[in-house]
Structure 1
Amino acid sequence: MDASDHFPSPDALCSFWMPFTPNRAFKSGRHKLLVEADGMYYRSHDGREILDSTAGLWCSNAGHNRPKITAAIQKQAAVLDFAPTFNIAHPLAFEFTHKLSHILPYDLKKVFLTNSGSEAADTALKIAVAYHRMRGNGAKTRLIGRERAYHGTGFGGISVGGIVKNRMHFGTLLTGVDHLPHTHLPQNVFSKGEPEHGADLADALERLVTLHDASTIAAVIVEPVAGSTGVLIPPKGYLKRLRDICDKHDILLIFDEVITGFGRLGTPFAADYFSVRPDLVCMAKGITNATVPMGAVGVSNRIYDTFMQASETPIELFHGYTYSGHPLACAAGIATLETYEEEGLFARAAEISPYWQEAVHSLRDAKHVIDIRNLGLIAGIELTPRDGAPTARALEVFDRCFEAGLLIRVTGDIIAMSPPLIIEKAHIDRIVETLRRVLDQTG
């Protein structure tokens, strides 16, 4: 099969409005097409093997084309292709959420199913506001996000999010939203793991309480590790300090673990890694190994029980999606959780993380590198921007890496990597060697 067998026709190429992509550049010649995947590798339309250092898009945590997951999806499609979950259900939704509840941290044992991380974030925000209303605290509606945060692309998510380009074109967004400062400090440059400085940045929440009063604040939402903005690692003690302030003022703490969930830090969730208890946790991506779209919100028993006991209407939460608990997604989710468990992939990520850390930090002296950040199987490599052309250098590195058989992700002038948890040391060596060579070739 030659390249032309996979390449879209000119008309087809024009039809797909690609997300988060410079469409004009892509369709005028910067074509990057992936047609197959297996294990740690993609295959491009022109037959080249592409090493995946990003787990697709932070999501194929168990690697690609896993037989157990594939078989579960195929079998389910032939048995029950769809069933609604409004006032009726199917067994797999209960089986999957029960299995998921066993690895959810603390008392987050109730699960609301969505179809994406964006929907999970919006769902968590709605549950938080409704929870306070159920308790008679209807004035607690304000939501607190963080600068440089990414919580998907729904109106709730971009309102509490803090990435300027994601917000600036869409009007005033939700009202009653404020933001904490981000945690990226210059004195933490080239930190290995959690940086030493910046736990006191959590105290900005106390200033917002002083400004708005705690009686108006419903929830704080943060990514334990901010991924899409360029891998910002929380300073030591920062998340615990946030938890303490939230407890003090009856504010819910939401962890957006769409990226950090399912083994990325070597534990089931970042809440486990940092030993900090959230009230709600957002999930997606690795929940089905990205084979079928699914998201979820893990909810504390306390919050769920409040809805069950205080609701004055038969429907306790007026919220949901047609595809909440889709049978194929549930089948994929069960098989994915079993794959993680049977292969010990979370523990495996923890075991190889030190090698990953030392390998990526060996690029400290590489051309253009001004900072390296890492935790678990995540790394961010920040480059000096070109004068007058921010992001251009990183995009050139992205293009050159792809041509060299390596898939990376770039955000701004930062290379972000999050490889599948099945990665071997030889893969890590190849990633680092390719990056060093490409950086040396890039002006």
Structure 2
Amino acid sequence: MMNNSNLIQRDLATLWHPCTQMKDHEWLPLVPIKKGEGVWLEDFDGRRYIDAISSWWVNLFGHSNPRINERIKQQLDALEHVILAGFSHEPVVALSEKLVAITPPGLTRCFYTDNGSSAIEAALKMSFHYWRNQGRHEKTKFIALSNSYHGETLGALAVGDVSLYKETYAPLLMQPITVPSPDCFQREPGASWSEHSTRMFAHMEQALAQHADQVCAVIVEPLVQCAGAMRMYDPVYLKLLRQACDKYGVQLIADEIAVGFGRSGTLFACEQAGISPDFICLSKGLTGGYLPLAAVVTHDRIYQAFYDDYENLNAFLHSHSYTGNPLGCAAALATLDIFEQDDVIANNKHLAAHMGQAVAHLQDHPHVAEIRQTGMILAMEMVKDKTTREPYPWQERRGLKVYQHALQNEALLRPLGNVVYFMPPYVITPDQIDHLARVATEGIHIATQT
């Protein structure tokens, strides 16, 4: 009979896990999962865990969601996959129509890729290629924010700025123009998020004024720099950025891979600033956490720059074998149907408020510098000194102690360094949130005792 122990043994003989120092598993047990239902994951020994991080931020409506399951089963009996070059199918057309309808105004064309990093690659290439098709060969640069993260493929990695992921590969990467982030953790005492974000925009304005003739686009994660320790900023920055990009003739790429589909409190984070980017990159929650699928949605002016006679060689020759996969599109359509049929965004407001209340007591913890929240994303930052905000040395791996405590108490919490965060599926209940808050509080106490 299968159990945790024998599956772990087989795993460690053959697998190389992502984002992992494999030697850790000499003393840190893997957790093999047998099944999932709702917010719960269950291992082969019968232990359960609330998936507080949505399995890397992808799951929206719970594991084994019957509505998404049924849509995929129906599609499986009709068509599992077909080439999307020269061919089409109903699910990809229906999904494109829905994405055009729900994304910010003016975005009218959908280009599909396999995952978030690939969507970023496509958007960067589209922007560069657009300017080339316009005869603007001098436009070859991108502007990005410090502490940003856009994925692990080389183009996406290049426009990110989290050294843990990027530093090793620096010799392989193009060099963006990096502008200080509006990260509100860095605000002066007494300053509001809006005031700090507005003040920090001066750096972006200066970079655009100086480099616009060379710049294709600015790329940002709207409102939350997720892999960058869940650092957050005010929507006013996006509003100012859209105005400045228009002023200086530079495109705007919104990476909503992590913050899209309700995570920020609105369907898309850009809505909170009332802006439309030139490209919006979507993945993760697009299929409700079921299957890899991503999209770049852009406007017709970009599309028309590539629409030409074949012999002029202006087409966008970028492809993936599984582009627009019908099963992925079916999962996405079911996910978007749930948004339409259920009052998801309004219900999330109640859940988000409850999350904030459940951990509010940690504001007074001597080693919690800040509790910050944007919609259904909540983060608690542990520090060595609350007054000076001196961080713990990363080598101490304080967050790992929270992770280990959580696993012993029916919760999957996977901190980012010293930042403990909740980004749960939207089917979580207030009681389950209270459980996570208790476990996180205990874990933070244990992690900061010495």
- Structure 2 unaligned segments of length 5 or more: list them: 385-390
**Scaled by the length of structure 2, what TM-score is found?**
0.91
Q: CA deviation at 1:357?
A: 2.3
Q: Look up the match of 1:221.
A: 219
Q: CA deviation at 1:175?
A: 2.9
Do the aligned residues in 1 keep the contact of 2:184 with 2:233 (CA within 8 Å)?
Answer: no
Question: 5 Å matches for 1:294-443?
Answer: 294-308=293-307, 313=312, 316-366=315-365, 368-384=367-383, 388-390=393-395, 392-442=397-447, 443=449
Q: Look up the match of 2:387.
A: none
Question: 5 Å matches for 1:33-432?
Answer: 33-186=32-185, 188=187, 194=193, 196-211=195-210, 213-224=211-222, 225-235=224-234, 237-308=236-307, 313=312, 316-366=315-365, 368-384=367-383, 388-390=393-395, 392-432=397-437
For residues 401 and 304 of structure 1, what CA distance do their matches in structure 2 show?
Answer: 48
- Partner of 1:198, secondary structure, is helix
Which residue identity is paired with 1:177?
Answer: P
For residues 322 and 74 of structure 1, what CA distance do their matches in structure 2 show?
Answer: 22
Q: CA deviation at 1:177?
A: 1.5
Which residue identity is paired with 1:373?
Answer: R
Distance 1:407 1:70, change over 3 A: same
When the two structures are aligned, how many residues end up with a matched partner?
A: 441
Give the RMSD, CA atoms, in angstroms: 2.4
For residues 273 and 395 of structure 2, what CA distance do their matches in structure 1 show?
Answer: 34
Do the aligned residues in 2 keep the contact of 1:159 with 1:174 (CA within 8 Å)?
Answer: yes
Q: CA deviation at 1:116?
A: 0.6
Distance 1:234 1:191, change over 3 A: farther
Q: CA deviation at 1:312?
A: 5.8
4+ residue runs over 3 A deviation: 185-196, 309-315, 385-391
Do the aligned residues in 2 keep the contact of 1:257 with 1:269 (CA within 8 Å)?
Answer: yes
For residues 193 and 223 of structure 1, what CA distance do their matches in structure 2 show?
Answer: 20
For residues 374 and 75 of structure 1, what CA distance do their matches in structure 2 show?
Answer: 38
Distance 1:191 1:11, change over 3 A: farther
Between stretches 71-80 and 58-67, larger displacement belongs to 71-80
**Scaled by the length of structure 1, what TM-score is found?**
0.93
- Partner of 1:168, secondary structure, is helix
Deviations 1:384-414 (A, max 9, x none): 2586554511111111111111111211211
- Partner of 1:170, secondary structure, is helix
For residues 359 and 252 of structure 2, what CA distance do their matches in structure 1 show?
Answer: 32
Q: CA deviation at 1:137?
A: 1.5
For residues 21 and 54 of structure 1, what CA distance do their matches in structure 2 show?
Answer: 17
Between stretches 383-392 and 396-405, larger displacement belongs to 383-392
Q: CA deviation at 1:188?
A: 4.0
For residues 333 and 419 of structure 2, what CA distance do their matches in structure 1 show?
Answer: 34
- Structure 1 unaligned segments of length 5 or more: list them: none
Do the aligned residues in 1 keep the contact of 2:401 with 2:443 (CA within 8 Å)?
Answer: no
Q: CA deviation at 1:115?
A: 0.9
Which residue identity is paired with 2:424?
Answer: P
Distance 1:186 1:37, change over 3 A: closer
